[in-house]
Amino acid sequence: MTETTLAKPVQEVVLEAGRADRHYWLDLWRYRELFQVLAWRDVTIRYKQTVIGVAWAVLQPLLQTLIMTLVFSRLAKLPSDGGSPYALMALAGILPWTFFATALANASNSLVSNNNLVSKVYFPRLIVPTAAIVASMVDFAIGLIILGGFMAWFRFAPDWRIVFLPAFALMAFLAVLGPSLWITSVNVRYRDFRYVIPFIVQFGLYVSPVGYSASVVPQKWRLLYSLNPMVAVIDGFRWCVLGGHATIYWPGFGLGLAVIAAALWLGVRQFRKLEKTFADLI
Amino acid sequence: MAAADIAIEVEGLSKSYLIGHQAAHRAESFREMVTRSARAAARTALSVARGRQLVAGDEVEEFWALRDVSFEVRRGEVIGVIGRNGAGKSTLLKILSRITEPTRGRAVIRGRVASLLEVGTGFHHELSGRENIYLNGAILGMTRGEIDAKFDEIVAFAEVGQFLDTPVKRYSSGMYVRLAFAVAAHLEPEILIVDEVLAVGDVAFQRKCLGKMQDVAQRGRTVLFVSHNLPSVVDLTSRALLLERGRVAMAGESRAVVSHFLAASHDRLEGGDLSGYRRPHRDAGWVDIERVLVGGGPLGVAVVQPGEGVAIDVDLRIHRPVSDGIVVINLLNENLDVVTTLMSTDDRCLFSAGVGLQHIRCEVGPLPLAPGEYLLNVATAQLGGRLSWDALNTLPGFRMGGESTAEWLRWPQRPGSTWLRNALWSADASTKAAGAVHQASKVL
- Residue B159, number of CB atoms within 10 A of its CB: 15
Question: Secondary structure of chain B: what % helix, strand, coil (to 5)?
Answer: 30, 35, 35
Chain B interface mutation, best of A32, A33, A47, A188, highest count of B Cβ atoms under 10 Å: A33
Residues 251 to 280 of B: which have CB under 8 A from any A CB?
Answer: none
Nearest to B378 by CA among B286, B281, B443: B281
CB within 8 Å: B106 and A11: no
Q: How far is CA B70 from the centre of its chain?
A: 24
ipTM: 0.84
Please state the three-class secondary structure of B360-376 as a single string. Answer: EEEEECCCCCCCEEEEE
Contacts of B95 in chain A (CB under 8 A): 15
* Residue to test with chain B: of A2, A3, A13, most B Cβ within 10 A: A13
Partnered with residue B222 across adjacent β-strands are B191
Residue A277: CA count within 13 A, CB half-sphere? 21
**C-alpha B86 chain-centroid distance:** 10
Tell me what pLDDT residue B276 has. 65
Distance CA B162, CA B344 (A): 46
DSSP E strands in B75-120: the ranges are 78-82, 104-110, 113-116
**Given an 8 Å threshold on Cβ–Cβ distance, is A121 in contact with B53?**
no
Q: Classify B443 as helix, strand or coil.
A: coil
Answer for the pair B191, B114: CB distance below 8 angstroms, yes or no.
yes
Q: Residues of B numbered 92-151 whose beta carbons fall under 8 angstroms of chain A's beta carbons: which are they?
A: 94-113, 115, 117-118, 121-122, 124, 126-127, 131, 134-135, 138-141, 143-144
| Closest residue on chain A to B189 (Cα) | A11
Q: Which residues contact A22 (CB under 8 A, 6 or more apart)?
A: none
Whether residue A155 contacts residue A103, with contact meaning beta carbons closer than 8 Å, is answered with no
Who among A4, A114, A120 is closest to B4 (CB)? A4
Contact pairs from chain A to chain B, CB under 8 Å: 117
SS3 assignment, position A276: coil
A13, A33, A116: residue with CB nearest B122: A116
- Chain A partners within 8 Å of B106 (Cβ): 14-16
The DSSP 8-state label assigned to residue A70 in this structure reads I
CB-neighbour burial class of residue B306 (10 A; exposed 0-12, middle 13-18, buried 19+): middle
How does pLDDT run along chain A (282 residues), one tens digit per residue? 333 344 455 678 888 887 766 678 888 888 899 999 999 999 888 887 777 778 888 898 999 999 999 999 888 888 888 778 899 999 999 999 999 999 999 999 999 889 888 988 888 899 999 999 999 999 999 999 999 999 999 988 888 899 999 999 999 999 999 999 999 998 888 888 888 888 889 999 989 999 888 888 888 898 899 999 999 999 999 999 988 778 888 899 999 999 999 999 999 999 998 888 888 887
CA–CA dist B394, B338 (Å, integer) = 10
**Which residues have a Cβ under 8 Å from the Cβ of B203 and sit 6 or more positions away?**
B370, B371, B372, B404, B409
Give the nearest chain B residue to A117 (CA atoms): B122
Please name the helix (run of DSSP H) or strand (run of DSSP E) that holds residue B157, with its range, or none.
helix B144-158
Query: Could you tell me the pTM of the whole model?
Result: 0.72
Task: Report pLDDT for B22.
Answer: 60
Amino acid (one-letter) located at B88: G
Question: According to the model, what pLDDT value does residue B417 have?
Answer: 45
Q: Which residues of B252-291 are buried (b: 16+ CB within 10 A; e: fewer)?
A: eebeebbebbeebbeeebeeeebeebeeebeeeebbbbbb
Task: Give A-chain residues touching B109 at CB under 8 angstroms.
Answer: 12-15
Quick check: helix, strand or coil at residue A14?
strand
> What residues of chain B lie within 8 A of the CB of A16, using their CB?
101-102, 105-107
User: Could you please report the per-residue DSSP string of B13-62?
Assistant: EEEEEEEEE--SS---SHHHHHHHHHHHHHHHHHHHHHTPPP--SSEEEE
Residues of B in contact with A38 (CB under 8 A): 138
Q: Which residues of A fall within a CB distance of 8 Å from B111? A: 10-11
What's the burial of B298, exposed, middle or buried (CB within 10 Å: 0-12/13-18/19+)?
Answer: buried
Best B110, B124, B127 member to test A by mutation, with max A CBs in 10 Å, is B110
Would you mind telling me the total number of residues written for chain A in this entry?
Answer: 282
Chain B nearest-CA distance from A212, in A, is 39
What are the beta bridge partners of residue B390? B380
CB atoms within 10 A of CB B109: 25
Cβ-defined contact of B139 to A117 (cutoff 8 Å): yes
Of B99, B106, B143, the CB nearest to A119: B99
H or E stretch covering B224? strand B222-226
Query: How far, in Å, are A117, B140, B169, B212 from residue B122 at the CA level?
Result: 6, 9, 13, 22
Cα(B9)–Cα(B75) distance, rounded to whole angstroms?
A: 11
Measured in angstroms, the CA of B103 and the nearest CA of chain A are apart by 5
| Residues β-bridged to residue B311 | B363
Q: Which of A49, A122, A189 sits opposite B99 (nearest CB)?
A: A122
A33: chain B residues, CB-CB within 8 Å: 138, 143-144
What DSSP designation does A213 have?
-
Which residues in chain A have Cβ-Cβ distances shorter than 8 Å to B143? 33
Please identify every stretch of chain B with a pLDDT value under 70, giving residue numbers as ranges.
Answer: 1-4, 20-28, 51-52, 55-59, 197-207, 210, 217, 229, 231, 265-273, 276, 280-282, 334-336, 402-422, 429-444
Using the beta-carbon criterion (under 8 Å), do A277 and B2 form an inter-chain contact? no
Q: What is the pLDDT of residue A3?
A: 37
Window 8-37 of B, Cβ < 8 Å to A: 17
State how far residue B285 is from chain A, nearest Cα, in angstroms: 35
- Closest partner residue to B99 (CB to CB) among A4, A279, A281 is A279
Residue contact B109–A12, C-beta within 8 A: yes
A277, amino acid identity: T
What is the pLDDT at residue B28? 64
Report the gap between the CA of A131 and the closest CA in chain B (Å). Answer: 13
Q: Per the CB < 8 Å rule, is B127 touching A44?
A: yes
Residue B184: per-residue pLDDT:
82
Chain A CB contacts of B141 under 8 Å are 34, 123
Note the helical H segments in chain A.
24-30, 32-46, 55-68, 86-113, 115-118, 127-153, 165-189, 193-207, 222-225, 229-241, 250-275, 278-281
- A45 CB neighbours in chain B (<8 A) are 124, 126-127
Among B48, B99, B108, beta carbon nearest to A190: B48
Angle CA(B420)–CA(B422)–CA(B423) in degrees, nearest 5? 90
- Collect all residues of chain A within an 8 Å Cβ-Cβ radius of residue B16: none
Q: Chain B window 180-199: which residues touch A at a Cβ cutoff of 8 Å?
A: 190
* Contact between B254 and B237 (Cβ < 8 Å): yes
For residue A263, give how far its alpha carbon lies from the nearest alpha carbon of chain B (Å): 19
Dihedral angle, C-alpha B410, B416, B421, B423, nearest 10 °: 80
Torsion angle, alpha carbons of B179, B185, B189, B194, to 10? 100
Residue B432, chain A, CB below 8 Å: the answer is no
